[in-house]
Homo-oligomer: A and B are copies of this chain.
Amino acid sequence: MKTTVSIVGGSGYGGGELLRVLLAHPCVEVQQVTSRSHLGEYVYQIHPNLRKRTQLKFSEPAALEPADVLFLAQPHGQAQHHIEEYAKLAPKIIDLSSDFRLKDPAVYEKWYGEKHTAPEWLSKFVYGLPELHRAEMARANYVSGVGCNATASNLALLPLVKADLLDLSAPIYIEIKVGSSESGVEGNAGSHHAERANVIRTFSAFGHRHTAEVTQELGVHDVSLTMTAVDLVRGALATAHAKTKPGVTTKDLWKAYRAVANENLFLRIVKEQRGIYRVPEPKILAGTNYADLGFELDETNGHVIAICAIDNLMKGASGSAVQCMNLMMGWEETTGLEFIGLHPI
């Protein structure tokens, strides 16, 4: 018998992507998908890729029934108000929003500008990046989502931090380029195609909220995320500039990256001497759960560039969430996440 899963808030991009993956997942059955704004509509009317794949309709959040696993895919700031109710409906909950990512209520308040309304729940959630918390997930009931830009940053730096190769007294500048799906299904004034097409728009110089997740998860403090929108729908590329400790060589970096890639099926090293695709690029990752990693070291001065490409809706959101579910349920980590990715695209 299949595991029943329901999605709260299924009409956004994250919810739609979850649905796409879960409908094809061999171990689960999607039971309910809620949406207040699209109540009663077929899910394929909002997510047109699902046509002829499901006859599910969006249902009333208030009519949510018990399920084995509950995915929360609402806008930020909502899950914390209802977590007690949700916990009564399902033994396992994965929340894609930012409500339960940060451990410290003070840190949450600093970055989100308001008091957390369920601070006692923060410690119950495991941060939802399997590459950092795989073991804990096996026994977790509550797992948070991840910020897409935090994920690109965390995975870019992971091999360097894990192998302790960085000089943490130097600042880390992370330049992140992102597609338009990051602005969500509602978008904003600048989302109109006529304004958003062809852009190279550095919309946030410092202070992006996902910075808090990088600091919390990697323990790096002098770090900034600079966000630039480019003409793409899906995808994010983080390029981190940092300094290595004295004497660190390219060979050391290869070793560190290989170790991490060997332990994690969804991490791939892309560092080729020829061909068109020599470095990580998000476009070929659309729909996949891969994070492609690359690096370059200037041995003369220790300047290291660490690159990570992801699909922000998959590895940066719904893909990681399903990967977490697989770990929580004891299934193969890659189940339902086998899509290879398209080329050309």
With beta carbons under 8 angstroms apart, the residue of B234, B305, B342 that contacts A226 is B305
Q: A112-120, A137-145, A172-180: which lies at the B interface?
A: A172-180
Report how far A82 CA is from B211 CA in the complex, Å: 54
A341/B305 contact (C-beta < 8 A), A197-B233, A241-B173 known: no
Beta-carbon contact of A298 and B202 below 8 Å: no
Beta-carbon contact of A231 and B230 below 8 Å: yes
Known pairs A171-B303, A177-B200, A200-B282; list 5 more (Cβ under 8 Å).
A48-B343, A191-B194, A201-B281, A202-B280, A206-B303
6 A-B pairs with the lowest CB-CB distances in the bound complex, closest first: A205-B296, A48-B277, A193-B196, A180-B193, A49-B341, A194-B344
A239/B228 contact (C-beta < 8 A), A180-B193, A187-B194, A281-B200 known: yes
Beta-carbon contact of A233 and B194 below 8 Å: yes
In the bound complex, residues from chain B placing their C-beta under 8 Å from that of A281 are: 48, 199-201
In the bound complex, residues from chain B placing their C-beta under 8 Å from that of A203 are: 278-279
Interface members, chain A 1-55 (any B CB < 8 Å): 13, 16, 20, 23-24, 45-53
Interface members, chain A 226-276 (any B CB < 8 Å): 226, 228, 230-235, 237, 239, 241, 265, 268, 270, 272, 274-276
Identify the interface centre among A46, A175, A270: most chain B CB within 10 Å of its CB.
A175
Oligomeric state, in copies? 4
Q: A128-136, A212-220, A283-291: which lies at the B interface?
A: A283-291
Report how far A47 CA is from B272 CA in the complex, Å: 13
Beta-carbon contact of A343 and B47 below 8 Å: yes
Is A190 in contact with chain B by the CB < 8 A criterion? yes
Is A320 in contact with chain B by the CB < 8 A criterion? no
With beta carbons under 8 angstroms apart, the residue of B53, B185, B231 that contacts A197 is B231
With beta carbons under 8 angstroms apart, the residue of B177, B233, B296 that contacts A193 is B233
